[in-house]
Chains A and B, each alone.
Chain A
Amino acid sequence: MSFKVLKPGVQATLQAAPRSGTRHLGVPASGPADELSMALANRLVGNPSSACALELSFGLVSLEADADCAIAFTGAPVEIELAGDKVPMHRTLYIHGGETVSVGAAEAGARLYMAVSGGFLADDFLGSASTCLPAMVGGLKGRALRAGDTLSTGESEPSADVETPANMHQAFTHAFALRCVDGPDAELISGWESGQDYAATRRADRTGIEIAGSWPPLSNAGLKPSAPVFPGAVQLTPSGNAFILLPDSQTTGGYPHVLQVTRADRHLLGQIRPGDRVHFLKRTPEEAADDLRRKTAYFRDWLPDLVL
């Protein structure tokens, strides 16, 4: 079956498991900016956690189905209308051929996910279907949706009607606490104390988010020789602000890499919107590994194959 895109939204892309083993070619991992929300959406339609789903920035998408299937929405809270009726997020929904599903605008959180039973079909590039916008590969022709596009779906079994357990819903507010460890250039901010108030600026997309606030001035604002960087890296830029890397980010960089948002909390980065408040909490790498194990264990019964 397939969906016709009536309204494409701000930036909606197809995302699946991240690309691996390609960063030495300059090709980023891509994949969902919020892995947890995408996994929860896929779970509601009987898919594996990283089946190809639609990532919507701020919502505002309308799709028309050409046949019956199961769909589900998770992530930033929005109003959803299915065939003219309001329907909940975090629940299996059944859409019939000819019906339209419309997503409103998110007021907290930045991204939501639509999963379809059988997953969306997408272009493969170097082993992953995830859209990489800078390189224009993966997903649907390597780009965000446009009105008139057709999204095809894979074969599927009928899906059971389920709801995300209440204790697995994320709270969506305008404040984020991000656990982080030292980056390789942490000595440049040795006097820095975590716990201060920072805010996301308007510079935010799938490559990264700019974070303003009182960062220690760098005595030597120069660049270092280009070094490998990964999503979650917090770099200090010549503007005096920090830039946190997201899934479509560059693979090497020369700005001082002073902190790294830990893997356990990286999924939260996908939900930070301009103006949101951000706090950083310091951890050691060993504590961060424990945090990740604890968080994965918390979701294990519901999402046994979750990879954060």
Chain B
Amino acid sequence: MDFKNFSLNISQTKVNRFVDELSAGKFMATVCKKCGKNYYPPLADCSNCMQSDMEWKQISGEGTLVTFTKIHVPPEHFAVRQPLMPFSSIQFEPCPIGLLEVEGGLKIMGWIPKGDVKKIKVGMKMKASPFTLPDGKVTIILEPI
């Protein structure tokens, strides 16, 4: 799968496998075979020992929410378009996002689709899951456990 289906931005990386696994429902990190350091997002190279002998490892998506927000003014890529129908309006209700700390201190960013932003609290237990959007792109969602 083209990496752009996740990144929206670049299409080429050495960790392309991440999106294939994500579309198959798995969260993958990389681990340095030499020093054992875990990387999420998965990286192809270990800056801890400056070598590139890495292996893939599935990680659990369960963890604790460390922070969140709800972005009402989105960037161009997510910009709300004017409606084509005259005299009508688009009601925009953006989806909150959060940062979840999982095993080993790794942090996973994701959308919180069912979150009322006033009820989301730092410290909540949540689970990150891969999610395939209607247009075929893959992303990550966070849900309360």
Q: Do A and B come from one complex?
A: no
B residues adjacent to A (C-beta < 8 A): none
A residues adjacent to B (C-beta < 8 A): none
